[in-house]
Structure 1
Amino acid sequence: MTHQLPRFSANRPFKVVFYAINGTGLGHLTRQLNIARALRSLLDEYGVIHQIEFLTTSDAAQVANDFLTIKLPSKTRFKRQGLSVKRYNSRAKMLVSTYLSQLSPDWLVVDTAPQGAFNSTLAVKQPSRVD
Structure 2
Amino acid sequence: MAVSAIFAGLLTKVGVYALIRMFTLVFDQDVGFTHTILLWASVVTMVTGVLGAAAMNDFRRILSFHIISQIGYMVLGLALYTPLGLMGAVFYLVHHIIVKANLFFVAGVAKRIAGSTDLA
The reply to whether TM is greater than 0.5 is no
Q: Which has the higher contact order (CA 8 A, sep 6+)?
A: 2
Specify which structure has the higher proportion of strand. 1
TM-score tier (shorter): 0.3 to 0.5
